[in-house]
């Protein structure tokens, strides 16, 4: 499904930015479509992107023993 008309301000974090803050960030926003259960990054991997979900939820919980729960 292609979501070409999604409003980034539907994301709870982006919606709380001031108009000036959003204006500075908006040229760097890119709409991407991800598959269900797609891994956004692996542990100890350097982050390349930050995701602001609009129509989805992401989750991760890591424990001291290295295990995790989604």
More confident residue, 26 or 38: 26
- Residue 1, pLDDT score: 45
Contact 53, 10 (CB under 8 A): no
Most confident of 20-24, 46-50, 58-62, 65-69: 20-24
Q: With CA atoms as reference, report the closest residue to 48 among 69, 28, 25.
A: 28
Please tell me the pTM assigned to this model.
Answer: 0.66
Domain ranges of the chain: 1-69
């Amino acid at each position: 499904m292609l979501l070409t008309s999604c409003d980034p301000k539907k994301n709870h974090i982006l919606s709380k930015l001031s108009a000036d803050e959003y204006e500075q960030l908006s040229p760097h926003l890119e709409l991407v479509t991800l598959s269900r259960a797609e891994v956004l990054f692996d542990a100890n991997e350097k982050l390349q992107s930050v995701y602001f979900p609009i129509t989805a939820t992401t989750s991760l919980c890591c424990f001291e023993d290295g295990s995790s729960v989604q």
